[in-house]
């Protein structure tokens, strides 16, 4: 009994001592941790939200500036073709198909769909040549307006793939779009593509300028803008717009294995449009400049061979006899670095600049030759006159052109030398022996590296004795020797 009492007293004493010590030490009770507050992060987030909202308004403003001027262009073409006749000897079939008959003429209407953009209040609309080429009837539908308008083709230019059509009938207060300066575009810059893809009217897509100066080989003069803004069938002829609400390009083509958008689209620069627009609106044939220079891009291998240290440039492969460049003493092997003070990056860029120069004006051509740069003054000729004066087929019945880089790539022979056959006269000596697209590599065992080499060799040959040509065929990829004698 005494032991139990003693143990109880000890426990009570321990409890009291513990309470006294706790009070003396004043140990605070644990408090739940409060979450960390970052006022700075909240302020930054609010700024980002404000920036995103303002950026969205910029996109909206650019789209609303141009979208009212974007139209739907529908074309109709009547196509006639022959079908083989059906001949039935069995009276049973004649009951259903009639007696035997010869070939039958069929008529079919083909319809196309594209886009366009109104460029002035008189009803002129800018679009692609392929949207309206060969059309027998055009119908234009304006956004937010009832009814359709008939339109007529005013001017076309297959070489740049541009066309101008004009509304017919009564209209007023037409919305118009402004052409911007495509030279100011920078890779990575935001752009909008507006059009009617797959018939969905006034569709706006956004992307960036992916590259400049692209060449597809679909038109004679190309210096295209590449963009990842969605472009699909039906967008052709619609505008590519910068965030200032200016038209900086006209949608032209897509690169696709499916026929739909794969992230690569192309547009014709607005500055190319400006070069031909006055003549297109007037219904005139485009008057282009001509220097008589045939060339290619400067590759690293070529630069090393010619000891050229610069960047870009166009290497002169050949000179058209009696052309402006020949009279100004431009030589094969020269590297053109500037045209009228503008640096030249590629041969295609040079071609476009020359073509856009008014015939009769004097151009300043900066060339690099033998380690030195010099500037030549060259009166720009007229391309139409040069084409009309192009030489007739020679006694072989052949016309030839210089090899292009693209053709060399098609042969998978970047070092290929020769001239490509562009025309074979039906009554010429070479008919049946040489075909268009063949590459003539030598004449009478003498290598042919330019059209001048070819013309010189043919002029020196005796038609009665004939010539021996080494010819590369694009169909087989193999070379062969052919003997051709005059008739």
pLDDT tens-digit profile of 268-325?
999 999 999 999 999 998 889 999 998 888 988 888 888 898 888 999 988 887 889 9
pLDDT higher for 146 or 73? 73
Average pLDDT over residues 327-354: 92
Q: Do β-strands 265-269 and 224-227 pair in parallel, antiparallel, or remain unpaired?
A: antiparallel
| Predicted local distance difference test score (pLDDT) of residue 16 | 46
Q: Kindly report the number of other CB atoms within 10 A of residue 148's CB atom.
A: 13
pLDDT at 481: 92
116 burial via Cβ count (<10 Å: 0-12, 13-18, 19+): buried
Q: What is the pLDDT of residue 203?
A: 95
> Residue 348: what pLDDT?
87
Q: Are 298 and 308 in contact (CB under 8 A)?
A: yes
Residue 296 and residue 318: Cα distance in Å, rounded? 10
Mean pLDDT comparison of 28-32, 132-136, 218-222, 267-271, highest-scoring range: 267-271
More confident residue, 110 or 293: 293
User: Is the pLDDT reported for residue 220 higher than 60?
Assistant: yes
Q: Answer whether 344's CB lies under 8 Å from 295's CB.
A: no
Per the structure block, which two tokens stand in for 62?
Answer: 């650019």
Q: What is the rounded CA–CA span in Å between residue 10 and residue 31?
A: 33
> What value does the mean pLDDT take over residues 39-65?
87
List all residues 6 or more positions away from 2 whose beta carbon is below 8 Å from its beta carbon.
none
User: How much of the chain, in percent, has pLDDT values that exceed 90?
Assistant: 47
Mean pLDDT over all residues of the chain? 84
Domains and CATH numbers, the chain: 69-167 (2.40.10.10), 182-282 (2.40.10.10), 289-386 (2.30.42.10), 392-484 (2.30.42.10)
pLDDT score recorded for residue 255:
85
pLDDT digits (tens, 9 = 90+) for 30-40: 555 555 555 56
Q: Is the Cβ–Cβ distance between 271 and 250 less than 8 Å?
A: no
């Amino acid at each position: 009994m005494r032991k139990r009492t003693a143990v109880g007293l000890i426990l009570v004493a321990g409890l009291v001592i513990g309470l006294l010590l706790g009070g003396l030490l004043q140990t605070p009770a644990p408090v739940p941790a409060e979450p960390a507050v970052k006022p700075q992060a909240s302020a930054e987030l609010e700024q980002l939200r404000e920036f995103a909202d303002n950026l969205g308004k910029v996109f909206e403003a650019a789209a609303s500036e141009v979208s009212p001027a974007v139209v739907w262009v529908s074309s109709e073409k009547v196509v006639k073709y022959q079908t083989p006749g059906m001949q039935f000897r069995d009276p049973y079939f004649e009951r259903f198909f009639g007696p035997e008959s010869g070939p039958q003429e069929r008529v079919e209407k083909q319809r196309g769909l594209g886009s366009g953009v109104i460029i002035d209040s008189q009803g002129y609309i800018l679009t692609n040549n392929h949207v309206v080429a060969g059309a027998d009837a055009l119908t234009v539908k304006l956004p937010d307006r009832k009814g359709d308008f008939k339109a007529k083709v005013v001017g076309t230019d297959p070489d740049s793939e541009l066309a101008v059509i004009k509304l017919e009938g009564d209209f007023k207060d037409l919305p118009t779009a402004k052409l911007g300066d495509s030279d100011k575009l920078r890779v990575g810059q935001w752009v909008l593509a507006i059009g009617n893809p797959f018939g969905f009217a006034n569709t706006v897509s956004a992307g960036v300028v992916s590259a400049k100066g692209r060449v597809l080989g679909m038109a004679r003069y190309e210096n295209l803008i590449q963009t990842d803004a969605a472009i699909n069938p039906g967008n052709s002829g619609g505008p590519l717009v910068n965030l200032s609400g200016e038209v900086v390009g006209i949608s032209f083509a897509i690169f696709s294995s499916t026929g739909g958008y794969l992230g690569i689209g192309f547009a014709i620069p607005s500055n190319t449009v400006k070069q031909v627009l006055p003549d297109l609106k007037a219904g005139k044939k485009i008057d282009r400049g001509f220097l008589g220079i045939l060339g290619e891009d400067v590759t690293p291998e070529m630069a090393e061979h010619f000891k050229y240290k610069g960047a870009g440039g166009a290497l002169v492969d050949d000179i058209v006899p009696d052309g402006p460049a020949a009279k100004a003493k431009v030589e094969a092997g020269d590297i053109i670095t500037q045209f009228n003070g503008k640096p030249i990056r590629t041969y295609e860029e040079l071609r476009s600049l020359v073509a856009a120069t008014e015939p009769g004006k004097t151009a300043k051509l900066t060339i690099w030759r033998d380690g030195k740069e010099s500037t030549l003054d060259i009166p720009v000729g007229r391309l139409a006159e040069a084409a009309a004066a192009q030489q007739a087929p020679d006694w072989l019945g052949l016309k030839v052109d210089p090899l292009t880089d693209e053709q060399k790539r098609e042969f998978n022979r970047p070092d290929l030398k020769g001239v490509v056959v562009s025309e074979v006269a039906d009554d010429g000596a070479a008919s049946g022996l040489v075909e268009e697209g063949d590459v003539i590599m030598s004449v009478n065992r003498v290598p042919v590296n330019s059209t001048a080499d070819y013309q010189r060799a043919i002029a020196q040959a005796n038609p009665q004795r004939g010539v021996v040509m080494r010819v590369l065929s694009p169909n087989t990829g193999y070379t062969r020797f052919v003997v051709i004698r005059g008739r």
